[in-house]
Structure 1
Amino acid sequence: MHCRDCDDGLMSLTIRLSGPDDRAPILSLMAEARGDNLTAAQRAERGFVQGTMDDSVLARFQDGTGVFIAEEGGVLAGFAMTSAPGSMHAGPPKLTADVATAAHPDSTLFLYGPVAVSAKFQGRGVMTKLLVALCAALQDRFDRGAAFVEVANKKSLAVHRHYGMHETGAFTFDDRDYVVFTFEPAVLAAH
C-alpha cells in the first residue's frame, strides 16, 4: 500500500506491511529506540521503546494484524506494530487489553505498539503517516485501538496526547506506572 499524502516535499514515504526480509532492520531500529545508552532523563525526553524481541516474536506480530513500516528509497524510516489482544497473555499488553476492554466492552480492539522512528527521520511526519495508514488498513476489522505508555516516557505520553488518543485508564506492572490510551482507527484514518 502506498500512503496517500506522503509526498509532502520533505520525503516520499512508502507505508506497507512488513515481511520476513524486513525483520533484521526492524529489530535493529527497535534496539536503537530502547535508548539503553541514555540516562533516565534523556530517555524521558527522547522517548523509548520497551522490551526486547527476537525474530520469532516479530514473526508472530507480522503474521497477526501486522507490522507496518515506513521506508524511503528502501531505507527503514520507522515501524508500528499491531496485535490482537488475545495474542498477548501477560505483562503490559495483557493489562492494556484488560483495561481497554473494561472501558469499551462492546468494541473490537487491537493493540498498537511498539512504534519507533529512526533518529534521522524524526520530526518529518513519519509516525503520523504510519498511524494514518495502519488505521486505514485496520478500521474495517476493529473499531478501537489501545496502547500503553510508561509514565516515565514523557515524549511518548506527549505524542499520544497530540494525536487525541483518550487516556482510558492506568495500571502498575513491575513497579512501573503505565497509562492506557484508546483511539478510534476510523477517526485517525480520516486525517
Structure 2
Amino acid sequence: MIRTLIADDEQLVRAGLRLILEAAPDIAVVGEAADGDEALAAAVRLRPDVVLLDVRMPGTDGLAAAPRIVAAGPRVVMLTTFDRDEYVHGALRAGAVGFLLKDTPPRELAAAVRTVAAGNAMLAPTVTRRLISSFAERGPARREAARQRLARLTDREAAIVREVARGDANADVARRVGASEATVKTHVSRALAKLGVANRVQLAILVHDADLLEE
C-alpha cells in the first residue's frame, strides 16, 4: 500500500484528491495538511511514501517546505494550478521529484503516485520538461561546472543520461539507445551515484545546465 499525504490550503481540493486516490486499491491517504509547517509535521509523524505538496499556501508554502520534507524521507511531488509556476524549479533542485497540475485526470494522478513511489521522477509531462529547460541556469561558469561533473561518466552512461534528460521513461530510452531496460536502469543508477544527485529530475537539470541537449 502506498502511503500518501496531501498538503493543500483548500479543503475542497484536498477532499477531491483524497477521493481520487482512495479509489485506487493500492493507495492510502494517511493524512492531510493545510500549509507547509503542517505538512512537515505530518510527514515526520506519519512517514508517508509520497507527499503531494501545493506550491502556493499561506504561511509556509510548498516551495519553502519541500527541502525539509524531502530530508524527512518522503518523495515530494509539487501540486500547482498553473504551469507558469517557475519557482517550482527551486523545489526540483531541492529534491522534489516533479510536479502535477491540479487538473490532472484521476487515472493519471494515481499512476503518478505509483511512479513516484517506485522511485521514478515525474519527467514525462511536457510542462515539467519545459520548466527544467527554461529555468536551468546556464551561465558560462555553471555550464562549465556541469560539464566537468558529467565528464565523470562513461560514454555509454553519458548517452543514456542525455536521453533521460529529455523526459523519456527507461523503456523509451532503451529502445532509442539499443539496450535493455534493465541496462538503462543500471546505468542511470551508476550515473546518479557518480554525480551525487538524488534523482532523475536533478540529473536532467544538470544536463540542461551543461547545454548538452543542444549538441
TM-score, length basis structure 2: 0.24
Structure of larger gyration radius: 2
The structure in which a higher percent of residues are strand is: 1
Q: 1 or 2, which has the higher helix percentage?
A: 2
TM-score (norm 1): 0.26
